[in-house]
Structure 1
């Protein structure tokens, strides 16, 4: 579910969410939540071991592509409590150093659809339907200034519907510009200050394309028997 760095102990860690149920359980639909056991685990590269950590009972969107993000020392996901309705969204964050979960409620009447990183902070894309305009959605961009504090959300700008139907955002680039994937799989760059769309010569599977942030100073990750082999 998440991979990050613990600066306090100079350690790399993985956070995993586990759902366990009896093999005779007829349907993995979570409709009978009392029949499912949930736990959260963290893996430490330095000790090559897993251990359980306490955390709230909640669900993460099955499509992790745009609902998970990583800022310095913190993994975050869009989560919800009710599996059936998938409503009452919030941001669930895991502090890699303190190994604690933090919950941040969304602004009132806001439906978040994706999380990204903007200037080392959590940025959320929220979808909003305008009355009288069928199937026309506006996207509001929010920035979370402090994890765990609902009132620290700040609305940055609103993106009006694209004329040629760009289907979903991929992430941020420089100066708040955003990558979007157009229906048909073409990548475009959108500048919210000028509302200009730049068509890039990159095409792919729109459902599977994603933007990955990398560091040029990546170190060699080595530990455990499997890595040595």
Structure 2
């Protein structure tokens, strides 16, 4: 996992990256480091438990980089974050998405953190966190029926973005 952002609080460009800790045989401990361009320094952030270290770029919302990641203590996926101002790692509470087999990805709608739940590769539910840090403020904005052949797999057809007019753009390939 990684991210490159501009920290407005400190007027600094920063790179954040997570690495499996090689001293643990099962890689349950992940090291997170942040590079600051202003100070030309690499800082280690607090450790957090993780089974699966994703390779995705972080989603920047509310001064924090966010990733979807698996935590070994619980089943399923969590949203983890790195606060650029105070250099701490955290977790964002999620809503109940419902039953069924689905995959999900993080995104941004407007200035809000969003989760795109893909059910059986034929529809996406779009959840948005309207008030950051308040679990009850997650709302399901809408459901999108995906105009794709489900035999092609979800990697071939993904929600890409939405315009201010509510038009949806998909990425094929």
Same fold (TM over 0.5): yes
Go from structure 1 to structure 2 and tell me whether the alpha carbon gap of 1:56 and 1:177 turns closer, same or farther (over 3 Å shift): farther
- Aligned-partner SS, 1:78: strand
> Cα deviation per residue 1:4-57 (whole Å; 9 max; x = unaligned)?
2222221111111122326xxxxxxx9x42x66531111111110101111422
Does the alignment pair 1:77 with 2:67?
yes
Question: Once the 2 structures are TM-superposed, how far is the Cα of residue 117 of structure 1 from its aligned partner?
Answer: 1.4
> Cα deviation per residue 1:49-98 (whole Å; 9 max; x = unaligned)?
10111142223433x16xx3123522111111149xx9521211222112
Q: Which runs of 4+ in 1 moved over 3 A?
A: 109-112, 146-149, 163-166
Structural RMSD (CA): 2.8
Partner Cα distance (1:55, 1:152) in 2: 28
- Aligned-partner SS, 2:48: coil
- Aligned-partner SS, 2:165: helix
Go from structure 1 to structure 2 and tell me whether the alpha carbon gap of 1:36 and 1:74 turns closer, same or farther (over 3 Å shift): closer
- Aligned-partner SS, 1:98: coil
Structure label with greater radius of gyration: 1
Question: Which protein has the bigger strand share?
Answer: 2
Residue 144 of structure 2: aligned partner: 159
Contact persistence 1:70–1:76 (CA under 8 A) = yes
Residue 38 of structure 2: aligned partner: 46
Partner Cα distance (1:78, 1:163) in 2: 24
Structure 2: gaps spanning 5 or more residues = 151-155
Go from structure 1 to structure 2 and tell me whether the alpha carbon gap of 1:36 and 1:155 turns closer, same or farther (over 3 Å shift): closer
Contact persistence 2:28–2:49 (CA under 8 A) = no
